[in-house]
Structure 1
Amino acid sequence: MVAQLYPLVQSKPIPQGTPEYEEKRTALLRAFYEKIPREYYVSQSIIDNPPADVTGIPASSGILTAEEIEITENYDTISLAEAIAARKYTAVTVAKAFSKRAIIAHQLTCCLTQWYPEMAEKRAQELDDYLEKNGKTIGPLHGVPVSIKEHMPIAGTYSSMGFFSSIVYNEHDSQMVRILRNLGAVFYCKTNQPQTIMHLESDSHWGRVLNPYNIHLSAGGSTGGEAALIAMKGSVIGVGTDIGGSIRGPSAFCGIYGFKPTSYTLPMKDFLAGTFPAELNVLCASGPMCRTLRDMDLFTRLILSAKPYLEDPRIVPIPWTGLETAAAQRPLKIGIIEHDGFIDPQPPVKRAIAWARQKLSAAEHGGKFQVKSFTPYGAHEAWTQIRRIYWPDAGKGEIDPITAAGEPMHPLSSWIWKDAEPHGMLTATQVSAQRGERDAFRFAFAKAWEEQDVDVVIGPAFVGPASAHDTAFYWTYTSLYNFVDYPGVVFPTPVKAEKADVYPDDYTPLSDECNHVRELYAQADFTNAPIDLQINARKYHDNDLFAALATLKDVLELP
């Protein structure tokens, strides 16, 4: 392990910047760690020599009381809100429990950027006083702690885009946070993300987020801190964003649920201090990350019930029926994606796909499902186009401030604009031409979907179970659906990576990139990494996606 100034496990260090930059970064970290009470420190022997799987340490550390373990481990959002409303627990007790567990999780995975238990307990006390005085809750999330991704403004805290010079102080809540606050949520921490928020390794100036199930693997990005925190049971529900897989990737890496809606379904107003050129042609989406299927549905329903489109006219005001959506009176037509024709997934993922196919094809379902093979249209073409389209400014909006501050450029930051950088800043005509190419692809993709005649597709969420640090090069299985703007959910399976998962001796890769993925698999140990699968539906068919999940819940044993 890498020696740390403070109690923090880092299985691989982040790059070092100039001495001046490192001095500023050290001051920032010192201010964070000096807030942690000594009694919350994880044993130094664990910090110095951690196990690969750190998920059991919070409960066994002796830091949490039996009640705090019960609160953080035995509830999802819905049941926790019910317990607080029934006065089984006070909001203050719950806030303290999750604040403690979050800071333990952070020491083991580097999942946080900010931690403010005092602010959380003050708000929780106000909620307890209201319930005592009025005999009712503020709202359906009364007292529920909600974790928030670093770049989303919460009044009285800081936000950034994952690099030091982008840090700003926030006077006001972003729209999503304000809605959650009005519903009764309690905010107690913000979570780590990548430098630039634009790749699948959450490695900012705060440090590198580790996968709780195997710290030698990535927790994913860009919402990797959220995923690790939820997997460590330091949160029941959090908020992420996704423009290439940033909700679905980390959720899959860490074995939890993540929902990327069709763009402009859920609010994103005020999430960033400035505009983001990538959204000229690829739109981002916000969504929930959590432990249960019903919590994803609850989150979406509650946010949309606040009518966010009245404040943000970009949002499409489609009514939410979610898991209550009436299923079609015919077999659900499910396409199974073995591979996308470009990159074959690594062996543990293929085993999870086989598990899903076997479950859905079982005779006892009696014609409930029509299962068929499905090949997504143009996966290689989509990956080639989107890598250019993300960066119409050739990455200068990130490269210039990062280098000017003396901050080191992290490996995957350089990787993401590698294809666009040689082309420099594009003209308006060139950006418009990219849109024409994107739309032509979308038309062809929709036609191929229709010809294959499916309602939803189930397939990989990533090329592997997770990635070794600094090797998340290919997000083709998620970015494809950002390119065409189709909604997607990743859901946990009982499959975990095992040493017995190997490529066959006669394996033939689909492409050079596919061969690279095989080489990466041989270079790391993926043991114990959880496997999620992804389910997708057509654009604006988010309700139908959840109707399919409701139908599949028992068959796929979804929590």
Structure 2
Amino acid sequence: MSSRPLPVVQRVPLPQGTPEYEALRQKYLSELEASIPDEYYLPQSLIDNPPRDVTSVPRECGILTAEEIDITENYDATALAAAIASKKFSAVAVATAFTKRAAIAHQLTGCLVEYFQGEALERAKALDEHLEKTGKTVGPLHGVPISLKEHMPIKGHYTAVGFLDTRHIDDYDCQMVAILRAAGAVFYCKTNQPQGIMHLETVSPLGRTLNPHNIDLSAGGSTGGEAALLAIRGSILGIGTDIGGSIRGPAGFCGIYGYKSTSYYLPTKDFLVGGFAAELTVLCSTGPMGHSLRDMDLFCSVVKASNPHVEDPALIPIPWTGTATAPKTTPLKVGIMWNDGAIIPQPPVKRALAWAKEQLETKFPGKFEVKSFVPYQAAEAMVNIRKAYWPDGGNAVRAHLAATGEPMFHLTEWILKDAVSEEELPVSKVLEYRVARDVYRQKFVADWNAQDVDVVISPVFVGPACEHETAFYWNYTALWNYLDYPGVVFPTPIKALKKGAEDYAPEDATPLSEQDKHTRELWAKGDFENAPINLQITTRKYHDNELFGALAALQEALALP
């Protein structure tokens, strides 16, 4: 046990709850603190006065060896799996490197809620012994460390569904964890998620997750702990869930890959025990988060090769072909969605869209047909989806908060404003929402067909990573949840410039809506320097393979890692 508390950088204080709640919260924080070895503690002076960009701190702090820096910084999951299989690195060396770096990452960004290095090292040792004895790996992910979002059950560890009263230790692995474990994965930590798992910022009773590229900005939500850990290279591969942007938003904020599958394509069995009322209309899905396109492909190939639909009949048994999928048209027809008709993206996002258009038109003439894409009545979809999220009127949220005296966080209050009432909706109203959704989907696809595109490149968010407590507008991700279209968020070389270096163009002077006006005010007030800018690519429902085939075709033109 350290002689001082574990130092963690925090920029904005958390709301206070009742004494009972604060005592319970402190209990869990103390357990996390006790699990991190004293020798991994950063100097208090660094925590008190951190740089805005903390991505280089793990490399420079002196805690990691030269080999551990190499392992965590110079490999993606695919290369790391090959290096372990060839015995260039032992699984123990890899697990040690990533567990150490994750401990450093947490102190800088508040990304973890549980840390189990000892268990990871035992698993890695067993994998090394298996390889030495048999000459064979356990599976394609042999020795690859994988981090998990808090609500995903793993045997012997805490799970929570966004509230302190739901935190408990599971006695089983969920289906996804079991598949990855059988493939050789090493689990070593669980990552932070927001209260209620329904914010585009990750702030929970156990802390606020900061963006490693600029700690005054959000890491996104709800899979923000994963995104921050990956961005600072404390993880090589993670898993998220997405019902409104919870994979794609954090991936975009933190400059990494994130894939939201079509619903019931990848396994989510036991992810949310008891379910979530929003799924009566808007379905949740899952997918990987990582550092390269081929890692996204590897993850999905491993999961789909296990035939998860045999265990869970809800899953659609479409085999995975991924990046090997040939585009159906030549040239590939790429739509660029410049805005959604309600909010014009902030200047760096417009720069990134313009960059993508130029790359596709000039790098390989004739390979891509690039055209502007106008989404069909996207503002209408956003009104409908916000109402559909809370058919219980938010009563479940209030009950969870009351159980421990947990305070309602600012962004929880914000999202609950969309509930049409504080009463549970009648079946007839829920049915009305479902019918409206299906009618909208039919009109949208007819309009998509008329615009004749294979894929659409669009913003991930209204701007770069936002300042803390300002993740208000989910438009650019939630639209695709309402449609149930698969999407991948990918990095670009574009970053936000210093404050005052750019502004909205004169032709965009008139706001499209009150939301647009507010977005401009947030831009004028904020400082987003160094925030990475990602873009999003989407296609039709259950065309997940075609989506990855398109990404493979776009990879060289867009310089995708």
TM-score range, shorter chain: over 0.9
Query: What is the Cα deviation at residue 329 of structure 1?
Result: 4.9
Structure 2 distance, partners of 1:172, 1:537, is 35
> Which residue number in structure 1 is paired with residue 220 of structure 2?
220
Q: 1:367 to 1:23 in 2, by over 3 A?
A: same
> Which residue number in structure 1 is paired with residue 468 of structure 2?
469
Unaligned runs of 5+ residues in structure 1 are none
> Which residue number in structure 2 is paired with residue 384 of structure 1?
383
With 169-178 and 319-328 compared, the bigger mean Cα shift is at 319-328
Partners of 1:244 and 1:479 within 8 A in 2: yes
Partners of 1:387 and 1:417 within 8 A in 2: no
Unaligned runs of 5+ residues in structure 2 are none
> Which residue number in structure 2 is paired with residue 416 of structure 1?
415
SS in structure 1 at match of 2:47: helix
SS in structure 1 at match of 2:152: coil
Structure 1 distance, partners of 2:151, 2:55, is 26
Query: What is the Cα deviation at residue 501 of structure 1?
Result: 2.4
Amino acid at match of 2:376: Y
Query: What is the Cα deviation at residue 504 of structure 1?
Result: 3.3
Partners of 2:6 and 2:41 within 8 A in 1: no
> Which residue number in structure 1 is paired with residue 112 of structure 2?
112
With 120-129 and 320-329 compared, the bigger mean Cα shift is at 320-329
Structure 2 distance, partners of 1:81, 1:187, is 15
> Which residue number in structure 2 is paired with residue 341 of structure 1?
341
With 29-38 and 389-398 compared, the bigger mean Cα shift is at 29-38
Q: Deviations over 1:454-495 (max 9, x none)?
A: 000001000011111111110100000000100100000000
Query: What is the Cα deviation at residue 147 of structure 1?
Result: 0.4
Alignment of 1:279-318 (within 5 A): 279-318=279-318
Query: What is the Cα deviation at residue 498 of structure 1?
Result: 0.3
Structure 1 distance, partners of 2:328, 2:439, is 30
> Which residue number in structure 2 is paired with residue 529 of structure 1?
531
Does 1:127 pair with 2:123? no
Q: 1:114 to 1:421 in 2, by over 3 A?
A: farther
Query: What is the Cα deviation at residue 35 of structure 1?
Result: 2.1
Partners of 2:262 and 2:485 within 8 A in 1: yes
Structure 2 distance, partners of 1:251, 1:329, is 29
Partners of 1:395 and 1:421 within 8 A in 2: no
Structure 1 distance, partners of 2:360, 2:28, is 51
> Which residue number in structure 1 is paired with residue 393 of structure 2?
394
> Which residue number in structure 1 is paired with residue 557 of structure 2?
555
Partners of 2:5 and 2:33 within 8 A in 1: no
Question: Structure 1-normalised TM-score?
Answer: 0.98
Amino acid at match of 2:290: C
Does 1:19 pair with 2:23? no
> Which residue number in structure 2 is paired with residue 501 of structure 1?
502
Q: Deviations over 1:313-339 (max 9, x none)?
A: 111001111100122352100100111
Amino acid at match of 1:137: T
Query: What is the Cα deviation at residue 421 of structure 1?
Result: 5.0
Query: What is the Cα deviation at residue 40 of structure 1?
Result: 0.3
- Give identity over the alignment, percent: 60
Query: What is the Cα deviation at residue 142 of structure 1?
Result: 0.4
Structure 1 distance, partners of 2:159, 2:46, is 31
> Which residue number in structure 2 is paired with residue 510 of structure 1?
512
Does 1:161 pair with 2:161? yes
Query: What is the Cα deviation at residue 423 of structure 1?
Result: 5.3
Query: What is the Cα deviation at residue 162 of structure 1?
Result: 2.1
Does 1:539 pair with 2:541? yes
> Which residue number in structure 2 is paired with residue 57 of structure 1?
57
Q: Deviations over 1:334-374 (max 9, x none)?
A: 10011111111001101101100111111x52211111000
SS in structure 2 at match of 1:258: strand
Structure 2 distance, partners of 1:505, 1:78, is 46
Q: Deviations over 1:133-192 (max 9, x none)?
A: 111100000000000100000001010012210102100000000000000000000010
Over aligned residue pairs, what C-alpha RMSD do you find?
1.1
Structure 2 distance, partners of 1:344, 1:202, is 24
With 28-37 and 209-218 compared, the bigger mean Cα shift is at 28-37
Amino acid at match of 2:540: R
Query: What is the Cα deviation at residue 199 of structure 1?
Result: 1.1
Structure 1 distance, partners of 2:534, 2:329, is 28
With 390-399 and 422-431 compared, the bigger mean Cα shift is at 422-431
> Which residue number in structure 1 is paired with residue 454 of structure 2?
455
Query: What is the Cα deviation at residue 277 of structure 1?
Result: 0.5
Structure 1 distance, partners of 2:403, 2:380, is 35
Amino acid at match of 1:491: F
> Which residue number in structure 2 is paired with residue 431 of structure 1?
430
Does 1:269 pair with 2:269? yes
Amino acid at match of 1:57: V
Structure 1 distance, partners of 2:489, 2:477, is 10
Partners of 1:239 and 1:289 within 8 A in 2: yes
Q: Deviations over 1:277-320 (max 9, x none)?
A: 11111110010000000000111111000000001111100111
Amino acid at match of 1:484: L
Query: What is the Cα deviation at residue 273 of structure 1?
Result: 2.6
Amino acid at match of 1:522: A
Partners of 1:227 and 1:289 within 8 A in 2: yes
Query: What is the Cα deviation at residue 505 of structure 1?
Result: 5.1
> Which residue number in structure 1 is paired with residue 194 of structure 2?
194
Structure 2 distance, partners of 1:401, 1:458, is 39
SS in structure 2 at match of 1:221: coil
Structure 1 distance, partners of 2:177, 2:11, is 33
Query: What is the Cα deviation at residue 5 of structure 1?
Result: 5.3
SS in structure 2 at match of 1:34: helix
Alignment of 1:319-398 (within 5 A): 319-362=319-362, 364-398=363-397
Partners of 2:395 and 2:422 within 8 A in 1: no
Query: What is the Cα deviation at residue 20 of structure 1?
Result: 1.9
> Which residue number in structure 2 is paired with residue 95 of structure 1?
95
> Which residue number in structure 2 is paired with residue 77 of structure 1?
77
Partners of 1:403 and 1:409 within 8 A in 2: no
Aligned residues: 555
Partners of 2:244 and 2:477 within 8 A in 1: yes
> Which residue number in structure 1 is paired with residue 256 of structure 2?
256
Question: Structure 2-normalised TM-score?
Answer: 0.98
Partners of 1:388 and 1:417 within 8 A in 2: no
Query: What is the Cα deviation at residue 71 of structure 1?
Result: 0.5
Q: Deviations over 1:431-476 (max 9, x none)?
A: 1111011111111111111111100000100001111111111010
Amino acid at match of 2:505: P
Structure 2 distance, partners of 1:423, 1:397, is 10
Partners of 1:289 and 1:296 within 8 A in 2: yes
